Structure 1
Amino acid sequence: MLSSSERNEIERVLLFYSAILILKTMAMSLLTAFYRVKNKVIATPEDTFYMPNGRCVRDDPQVERARRTHRNDLENIPVFLAAAYLWAMHCEPSSVYMFTWHMRLFTLSRIIHTFITIGALRQPYRSIIWTVAWTVCLSICVQIIQYSYQQNTL
């Protein structure tokens, strides 16, 4: 059973790392926009209003890499945040230390994943770091299921 101060610490950790992950995802929109302006690539023909010399293409390597990275964040970060919230607020994480390291490892993995993807580093680095983050999320889900089973809430 966690003490009141431990529960408060878990909430603080959840808020901090959630904000970092949300800001990281938001930053991908800005990075995509940066590459669009830099490379004069527009998303739709009507965007020529803002960039008259823009090309409406889907094959600019930098724009597409930033878009894919953003999409990958949108596929992975909300799922993790939902799982982390459920674990923190409705279950009893085994310790503040364990919860904090799950949050740190996922957040760090997603940030590294972005640098690897945008930097076009060769495989297997991107796959390895993605798997680390995925495994952290899996660990949280397993702990939620274990907690639910132990509480006879099924």
Structure 2
Amino acid sequence: MSLYTSHNPVFATFSFYAALLIIKTLFVAFLTGWTRFRKHAFQNPEDCNKMNRGKVKIDEDVERVRRAHLNDLENILPFLSLALLYIGTDPNLGTAKFLFRTFTAARFSHTFVYAVVVTPQPARALSYIVGQLVNLYLIYAILTSYASSL
């Protein structure tokens, strides 16, 4: 049986959480655009409208949401790649569910405390660190699983 089919519960679990993370990333991209229009803050002169008289306007709220989106791209994309490699090690379902759920919760939390309801540190840092710990564990599990076959 292939590990990369819906018949494998680890892959099915990964697929579910990967879809949630991708939806969240797309939502934050939408949130960036919505915040730009709401605040009339555009970075490109050709995007400026009559309300800000064609002047480029940088807004901290827009920049905060944009940084949250960039942070998602920097963290979710490696997770998705690592998780696919991890599935190839035929991991325990309980462990895989824990890792996928933990990472997903950390990323949702990170966006919430960074871009939606600005919360003082260490909330954002803790969310970031939890996600990084999951990625580091995935790297460790992948390397130790395949090291013996080299």
TM-score, reference length from structure 1 = 0.88
Equivalent position to 2:143, from 142, 145, 151: 145
Q: Give the secondary-structure state (helix, strand or coil) at the position aligned to 2:34.
A: helix
- Deviations 1:35-88 (CA, angstroms, capped at 9, x unpaired): 11111111200013xx32134122x11100000000000100000000000111
- Deviations 1:18-45 (CA, angstroms, capped at 9, x unpaired): 1111111111111011111111111200
Question: Runs of 5+ in structure 2 lacking a partner?
Answer: none
**Pair 1:27-2:7 in alignment:** no
Cα distance, 1:6–1:35 mapped onto 2, change above 3 Å: closer
Question: How far, CA to CA, are the matches of 1:144 and 1:113 in structure 2?
Answer: 26
Give the 5 Å matches for 1:101-116.
Answer: 101-116=98-113
Contact 1:92 1:147 in 2 (8 A): no
Equivalent position to 1:132, from 130, 133, 137: 130
Counterpart amino acid of 1:99? A
Counterpart amino acid of 2:66? R
Give the 5 Å matches for 1:39-54.
Answer: 39-48=39-48, 51-54=49-52
Q: Give the secondary-structure state (helix, strand or coil) at the position aligned to 1:91.
A: coil
Question: How far, CA to CA, are the matches of 2:57 and 2:147 in structure 1?
Answer: 51
Question: How far, CA to CA, are the matches of 2:113 and 2:125 in structure 1?
Answer: 10
Contact 1:41 1:56 in 2 (8 A): yes
Question: How far, CA to CA, are the matches of 1:26 and 1:109 in structure 2?
Answer: 17
**Pair 1:64-2:77 in alignment:** no
Counterpart amino acid of 2:13? V
Q: Give the secondary-structure state (helix, strand or coil) at the position aligned to 1:53.
A: helix
Question: How far, CA to CA, are the matches of 1:112 and 1:29 in structure 2?
Answer: 16
**Pair 1:92-2:90 in alignment:** yes
Counterpart amino acid of 1:13? T
After TM superposition, where is structure 1 displaced by more than 4 Å over at least 4 residues in a row?
none
Contact 2:44 2:56 in 1 (8 A): yes
Counterpart amino acid of 1:102? L
Question: How far, CA to CA, are the matches of 2:68 and 2:56 in structure 1?
Answer: 20
Counterpart amino acid of 1:84? A
User: Percent identity among equivalent residues?
Assistant: 33
- Deviations 1:94-133 (CA, angstroms, capped at 9, x unpaired): x101001100000000000001101221111111111011
Question: How far, CA to CA, are the matches of 2:72 and 2:99 in structure 1?
Answer: 17
